[in-house]
């Protein structure tokens, strides 16, 4: 099995982290800003030095191609993103892009020619920190978001994506379209605590979880806090509190994969000495299985309806947004697992908690991801960190999974 050059990858990550470096050791490289442009330029230079052809598409996604022996074969894409959160870390996204570069450098070192071409991709505006929504470049690439819609998206200062692309010189003419792609592999830090707590350097990602957002509005009767005896009250806040605890109990019934969150609570016109007449709150449900998230939603609706009814209140529940579970391609997932096994690395199968460009790609082409642990499970934080040995393990798994898919055609003298 081929092994990547760990110290070289680490040095490359360290070099890239200097662009947009923050005093607390993090990185600020918002999409299509001067920092992002410099980061992309440095990456493109490295790709050219590795003998690759660099092109960008109309939404600024950056592709670097290493030809294969079969001119007609579609490329195996590997990548992630170089943009960061405003107070981001040195690994989120960057790791997947530079691990892909290390894959190509290693293939060059060993004179390996693959049958299928390999293309590294850095997707535009993955973070969603400057332009909303997140994962915009990959959404346009696969056709989930029309190009024109994306180009008209504005940042907080009213600058459109089109203007930012023109000003930074990051737009190009490579064709959009996932139909000319063989498969997609992405390495990423886990951004959570699971791998680290289990002592596993590798997460074999099986897919993205289903998400469901509900809006709940509980209506009771606002009344005087001092004159209304307890049995006469229709308190929307206490009813909402009962619903919150029931929601937590539902999560326990779907443990460990079911996740529930009440992220926003609004008590309109609240006052210290008035019983809450109306409460609105959000519910975020997640589960990797579409049938299970249906069952969770059903339990939520039934339980909330009963709590409201028992207290003589009304509860209106609306679905605000839903996204189905996105299982990755089982053959590609197996390639990642086989690579981890081949090295004897401890690993586990894991569901991606966060959104990734891979989720967009997975709806169109065979896709898989490799996770490595991040220290204390921290991400979207300047203190985000990863261990050099884990960084190496992840890239070793990546190169062998990619090679199995891209097929070694021949080797020539390096």
Give the nearest distance from C-beta 286 to Zn ion in angstroms: 18
**Residue located via tokens 């947009």:** 20
When asked if residue 384 is in the footprint of Zn ion (CB under 5 A), the reply is: no
Cβ proximity to Zn ion: between 119 and 126 the closer is: 126
Cβ proximity to Zn ion: between 93 and 366 the closer is: 93
Cβ proximity to Zn ion: between 141 and 304 the closer is: 141
User: Taking contact as CB under 5 A, which single stretch among the options 87-95, 111-119, 149-157, 305-313 is the one that binds Zn ion?
Assistant: 87-95
Cβ proximity to Zn ion: between 95 and 254 the closer is: 95
Does an H or E element contain 144, and which?
none
Cβ proximity to Zn ion: between 122 and 392 the closer is: 122
User: Taking contact as CB under 5 A, which single stretch among the options 89-97, 215-223, 296-304, 384-392 is the one that binds Zn ion?
Assistant: 89-97
Length of the chain in terms of residues written: 414
For residue 414, what are its two tokens?
């390096």
User: Taking contact as CB under 5 A, which single stretch among the options 86-94, 132-140, 201-209, 228-236 is the one that binds Zn ion?
Assistant: 86-94
Show the binding pattern over residues 42-81: x = contacts Zn ion (CB under 5 A), - = does not: ----------------------------------------
What is the spatial distance between Cα 367 and Cα 379, in angstroms, rounded to a whole number? 23
Nearest of 79, 50, 85, 76 to residue 62 by alpha carbon:
79
Nearest of 128, 80, 101 to residue 9 by alpha carbon:
101
When asked if residue 35 is in the footprint of Zn ion (CB under 5 A), the reply is: no
- Quick one: which of 60, 93, 355, 373 contacts Zn ion (CB under 5 A)? 93
Q: How many residues bind Zn ion (CB under 5 A)?
A: 2
CB under 8 Å to 41, separation ≥6 — which residues? none
What is the spatial distance between Cα 257 and Cα 250, in angstroms, rounded to a whole number? 12
Cβ proximity to Zn ion: between 63 and 123 the closer is: 123
Give the nearest distance from C-beta 93 to Zn ion in angstroms: 4
Cβ proximity to Zn ion: between 128 and 342 the closer is: 128
Q: Answer whether 273's CB lies under 8 Å from 226's CB.
A: yes
Cβ proximity to Zn ion: between 79 and 117 the closer is: 79
Give, in order, the Cα–Cα distances in Å from 5 to each of 189, 192, 245, 270: 19, 26, 50, 60
Q: Answer whether 378's CB lies under 8 Å from 83's CB.
A: no
User: Taking contact as CB under 5 A, which single stretch among the options 88-96, 100-108, 171-179, 299-307 is the one that binds Zn ion?
Assistant: 88-96
Where are the alpha helices (H) located in 229-352, listed in sequence order? Answer: 236-253, 290-310, 330-343
Give the nearest distance from C-beta 92 to Zn ion in angstroms: 4
CB under 8 Å to 10, separation ≥6 — which residues? 388, 391, 392
When asked if residue 92 is in the footprint of Zn ion (CB under 5 A), the reply is: yes
Give, in order, the Cα–Cα distances in Å from 255 to each of 74, 122, 208, 283, 295: 41, 35, 17, 17, 13
Residues within the interface to Zn ion (CB under 5 A): 92-93
């Amino acid at each position: 099995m081929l092994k990547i050059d760990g110290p070289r990858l680490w040095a490359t990550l360290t070099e890239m982290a200097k662009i947009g470096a923050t005093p607390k050791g993090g990185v600020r490289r918002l999409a299509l800003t001067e920092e992002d442009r410099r980061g992309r330029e440095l990456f493109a230079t490295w790709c050219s030095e590795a003998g690759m052809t660099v092109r960008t598409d109309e939404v600024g996604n950056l592709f670097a191609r290493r030809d294969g022996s079969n001119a007609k074969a579609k490329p195996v894409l590997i990548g992630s993103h170089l943009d960061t959160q405003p107070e981001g870390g040195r690994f989120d996204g960057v790791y997947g892009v530079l691990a892909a570069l290390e894959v190509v450098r290693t293939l060059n070192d060993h004179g390996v020619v693959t049958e299928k071409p390999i293309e590294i991709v850095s997707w535009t505006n993955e973070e969603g920190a400057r332009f909303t929504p997140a994962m915009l470049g990959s959404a346009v690439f696969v056709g989930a978001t029309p190009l024109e819609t994306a180009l008209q998206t504005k940042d907080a200062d009213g600058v459109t994506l089109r203007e930012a692309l023109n000003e930074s010189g990051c737009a190009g003419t490579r064709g959009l379209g996932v139909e000319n792609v063989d498969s997609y592999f992405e390495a990423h830090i886990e951004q959570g605590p699971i791998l680290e707590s289990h002592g596993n350097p590798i997460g074999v990602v099986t897919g993205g979880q289903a998400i469901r957002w509900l809006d709940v509005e509980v209506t009771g009767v606002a009344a005087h806090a001092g004159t209304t005896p307890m049995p006469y009250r229709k308190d929307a806040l206490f009813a909402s509190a009962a619903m919150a605890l029931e929601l937590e109990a539902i999560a326990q019934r779907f443990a460990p994969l079911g996740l529930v969150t009440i992220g926003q609570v609004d008590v309109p016109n609240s006052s210290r000495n008035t019983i809450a007449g109306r409460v609105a709150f959000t519910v975020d449900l997640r589960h990797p299985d579409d049938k299970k998230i249906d069952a969770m939603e059903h339990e939520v609706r039934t339980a909330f309806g009963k709590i409201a009814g028992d207290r003589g209140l009304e509860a209106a529940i609306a679905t605000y947004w839903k996204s189905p579970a996105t299982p990755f391609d089982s053959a590609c997932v197996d390639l990642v697992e086989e690579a981890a096994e081949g090295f004897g690395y401890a690993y586990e199968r894991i569901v991606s908690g966060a959104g990734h460009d891979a989720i967009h790609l997975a709806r169109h082409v065979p896709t898989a991801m490799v996770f490595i642990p991040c220290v204390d499970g921290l991400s979207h934080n300047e203190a985000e960190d990863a261990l050099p040995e884990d960084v190496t393990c992840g890239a070793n798994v990546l190169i062998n999974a990619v090679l199995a898919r891209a097929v070694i055609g021949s080797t020539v003298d390096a």
